[in-house]
Amino acid sequence: MKNVTASRIATVSRKTAETDITLTLNLDGTGKCSVDCPIGFFNHMLSAFCKHGLFDLEGSLKGDLDVDQHHLIEDTGIVLGAAFDKALGNRAGIFRAGYFIYPMDESLCRAAVDFGGRSYLVCNARLKGLPLCCEATKLHAVTSFQTDTFEDFWQGFVSTAKCNLHLDTLRGRSDHHKMEGLFKAAAKAIRAAVAIDGRVPDQIPSTKAVLV
């Protein structure tokens, strides 16, 4: 069985003709996010995810932004999900499932997750499909965000994290608030799911005695 006192830290890299991504994840961190990300809004979402999940994340994201944002954002989800899978090991001792409802001003967002070994995403973010845009800054070369890539990120995440994830905007007006609320709700749901259950710290949380 897994030694639950061991550090749950993983580094995953993915390099293709379209992207070059490396991330190091600490499941038991303090919420620090130090990722070199060229997309301002996406960096904001990753920072919120770390802060509310108490995950530490560092690394760099590079991609063919001259094409669009899809490749970079989807592949980041793939790498982050793989880091969760690697850091969890055989998943002994975790609560496995988690749920959270997060209010973000006028938006109300819900996330539910199960790290049961199977990949499935249901995403009802209720976004308008229009990009978020703002003026260029010295900090980020790309300051707009293609909102259709929101679901692409989470689809990539579940495919390698081997989890079921349901994301729902229950109500809301601002696409910014909807996406941020869903990232925060997902972070808190995932934090609850990957936490160690002190009552059964060495048991795999499945009647099958294995999570694959």
The 10s digit of each residue's pLDDT in 64-123 is: 999 999 999 999 999 999 999 999 999 999 999 999 999 999 999 999 999 999 999 999
Sort strands 19-26 and 9-15 into parallel, antiparallel or unpaired.
antiparallel
Q: What is the DSSP letter of 130?
A: P
Q: What is d(CA 184, CA 9) in angstroms, rounded to the nearest whole number?
A: 21
Identify the sign of the CA torsion 132, 137, 140, 141: positive
d(CA 183, CA 167): 9
What residue ranges do the domains of the chain occupy? 9-194
Q: CATH assignment of 9-194, given 3.90.320.10, 3.40.1280.10, 3.30.230.40, 3.30.70.2170? A: 3.30.230.40
Tell me the C-alpha distance between 162 and 149, whole Å. Answer: 20
Tokens of 73: 């954002």
What does the block give as tokens for 4?
């639950």
Cα 47 from Cα 35, distance rounded (Å): 9
Tokens of residue 105, six digits: 């001003």
With contact defined as beta carbons under 8 Å apart, do 6 and 26 qualify? no
pLDDT digits (tens, 9 = 90+) for 24-73: 999 999 999 999 999 999 999 999 999 999 999 999 999 999 999 999 99
